Amino acid sequence: MSDEPQYPVKERIVQAIVAALEKISTANGYATAAVEVIRPRRTGEKFAPADKGIAVIQDAEQRETDDDLVGNPPAIAWRLPVACDAVVRVSERATEPMDQMLNILEADVRKALAADGTFGGLAIRSELGATEYPEPASGAEGLTVWLDVIYRVSENDPYVNRA
């Protein structure tokens, strides 16, 4: 049996992000009772967001050369933007303001993502970004919390973590 990781570092980071978000529950000290975390297809097919559903979607990574390391082999750093798209679905008879519910879910998502900024040592660091809201005409009630994860791998092997 090989000791080599089954997935590249980037994939292990995204899996760790999903695992962190799946911990959102009142039993774990969050205000939101429970969430459903998914990684939808990039085309969006077969995707129907549930109430308190969070879709984790990675964006195009970019080189982060300031965090490169010399060595044999050298370690190269990457900045991986990840969108955490959260949706709230409530009855039109609900008395709570929609922004209040969104603010609570946003705070829980941020708290979960900030619990371990290195995601178990896979990343050098992570940086929470701005929150974005969908266009009102889209009919979606939700928000996107952006997270940039800066990580390092061997120049010749994206499976080898060099954080």
Q: How confident is the model at residue 44 (pLDDT cuts 50, 70, 90)?
A: low
pLDDT for residue 32 is more than 70? yes
Can you tell me the distance from the alpha carbon of 151 to that of 79, in angstroms, rounded to the nearest whole number?
Answer: 7
pLDDT tens profile 108-132: 999 999 999 999 999 999 999 999 9
The two tokens of residue 30 are 């969050």
Helix axes 9-22, 98-114, angle to 10 degrees: 130
Can you tell me the distance from the alpha carbon of 43 to that of 51, in angstroms, rounded to the nearest whole number?
Answer: 21
At residue 2, the pLDDT reads 53
Q: Over pLDDT 90: what percentage of the chain? A: 73
What's the mean pLDDT in 91-103?
85
The pTM of the full predicted model, rounded to 2 decimals, is 0.91
What's the mean pLDDT in 136-161?
91
Q: How confident is the model at residue 1 (pLDDT cuts 50, 70, 90)?
A: very low
Q: Which of 60, 57, 43 is nearest to 85 (CA)?
A: 57
pLDDT for residue 163 is more than 60? yes
What's the mean pLDDT in 59-78?
96
Contact 118, 98 (CB under 8 A): no
pLDDT for residue 46 is more than 90? no
Can you tell me the distance from the alpha carbon of 157 to that of 155, in angstroms, rounded to the nearest whole number?
Answer: 6
What's the mean pLDDT in 127-155?
91
Q: How confident is the model at residue 47 (pLDDT cuts 50, 70, 90)?
A: low
Mean predicted lDDT score pLDDT of the chain = 91
Is domain 9-161 in CATH 3.30.2000.10, yes or no?
Answer: yes
What's the mean pLDDT in 14-22?
98
pLDDT for residue 148 is more than 50? yes
